[in-house]
């Protein structure tokens, strides 16, 4: 595995809500960067809805490492996993197994030492609590991570997206951009055609992709093909400060 001369970048993929497509976007970006010759690491700091001691990878973390072609150890990629599908701090309290900020930072530091960039998929949104006084925004701030906001493309998204971007900036975080997902193909929603432009006007951040509806059963290859067709990868790489490494 190649190692950068200096610690790599880290980018937090956050969302305006649960189920907006963070894993989809994070996996797509990881593979597209890898295909451009970038050495990519991935991280899911906390994954809920999966027992910790099964000896198997939680599904979100597993999709991310598959996309990146990662062979990093599970304790770095997904330091915490909890069986209950509840907020991470709630699950941690129930198990008397608190999320420790320094454990998360140490894992990310190890990944950054190995890779040019680490794609970090957050748990829910920026304000999701991990421990008392410590949320996903706190983790991003601790590790100087810019954020990419994944949101719905549909009506109602302007408020959710603006509030997420506003909270990020209030915590001193850089917003690299926005990706919108069209999650419901049955919804007749004329706002989809105008929401991207309004997000940019309201948030002062570029919309780097509008993902069309795709079923949950998409294979990784389908995810990558879809993301490749709708992401502005050159703009994304410029926003996060990446340069392409020429391939053999």
Per-residue model confidence (pLDDT) at position 51? 79
Q: Which of 44, 52, 105, 247 is catalytic?
A: 44
- CB-based burial of residue 109 (10 Å sphere; 0-12 exposed, 13-18 middle, 19+ buried)? middle
Question: Within a domain: residue 101?
Answer: yes
Active-site residue flag, 22: no
Look up the pTM and report it: 0.91
Q: Work out the burial of residue 75: count CB atoms within 10 Å of its CB; fewer than 13 is exposed, 13-18 middle, 19 or more buried.
A: exposed
Q: What's the total number of domains in the chain?
A: 1
Which domain covers residue 13, as residue numbers? Answer: 9-238
DSSP string, 62-125: HHHHHHHT----HHHH-SEEESSSS-HHHHHHHHT-PPPHHHHHHHHHHHHHH-SEEEEE-SSS
Quote the pLDDT of residue 218.
76
CATH of the domain at 16: 3.40.50.300
pLDDT for residue 1: 38
Which pLDDT does position 50 carry in this prediction?
A: 87
Classify residue 245: in a domain, yes or no.
Answer: no
Reading the chain (248 residues) residue by residue, the pLDDT tens digits are: 344 456 789 999 999 988 899 999 999 999 999 999 999 999 999 999 987 777 789 999 999 999 999 999 999 999 999 999 999 999 999 999 999 999 999 999 999 999 999 999 999 899 999 999 999 999 999 999 999 999 999 989 999 999 999 999 999 999 999 999 987 766 778 898 899 999 999 999 999 999 886 656 578 888 999 899 999 999 999 999 887 653 43
Q: What is the per-residue pLDDT for 3?
A: 47
> Given this model, what pLDDT does residue 190 score?
86
Residue 1 lies in a domain: no
Burial class from Cβ neighbours inside 10 Å (0-12, 13-18, 19+) for residue 61 reads: buried
Residue 93 resides in a domain = yes
Angle between helices 59-68 and 22-35 (to 10 degrees): 20
Residue 2 inside a domain? The answer is no
pLDDT value, residue 182: 86
In a domain, 248, yes or no: no
Name residue 148's beta-bridge partners. Answer: 13, 177
Residue 171 lies inside a defined structural domain of this protein: yes
* Residue 246: inside a domain: no
DSSP state of 231: B
């Amino acid at each position: 595995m190649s190692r950068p001369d200096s610690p790599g970048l880290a980018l937090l993929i956050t969302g305006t809500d649960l189920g907006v497509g963070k894993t989809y976007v994070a996996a797509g970006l990881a593979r597209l960067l890898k295909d451009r010759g970038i050495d990519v690491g991935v991280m899911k700091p906390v994954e809920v809805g999966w027992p910790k001691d099964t000896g198997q990878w939680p599904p979100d973390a597993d999709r991310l490492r598959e996309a990146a072609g990662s062979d990093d150890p599970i304790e770095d990629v997904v330091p915490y996993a909890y069986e209950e599908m509840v907020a991470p701090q709630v699950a941690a309290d129930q198990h008397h197994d608190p999320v420790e900020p320094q454990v998360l930072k140490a894992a990310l530091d190890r990944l950054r030492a190995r890779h040019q960039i680490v794609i970090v998929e957050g748990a829910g949104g920026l304000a999701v609590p991990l421990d008392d006084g410590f949320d996903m925004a706190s983790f991003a701030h601790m590790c100087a991570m810019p954020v990419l906001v994944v949101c719905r493309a549909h009506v109602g998204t302007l408020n959710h997206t603006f509030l997420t971007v506003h909270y990020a900036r209030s915590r001193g975080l850089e917003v690299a951009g926005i990706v919108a997902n069209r999650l419901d193909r049955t919804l007749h929603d004329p706002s989809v055609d105008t929401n991207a432009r309004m997000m940019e006007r309201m948030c002062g951040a570029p919309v780097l992709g509008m993902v069309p509806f795709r079923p949950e059963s998409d294979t990784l290859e389908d995810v990558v093909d879809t993301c490749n067709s709708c992401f502005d990868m050159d703009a994304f790489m410029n926003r996060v400060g990446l340069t392409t490494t020429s391939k053999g």
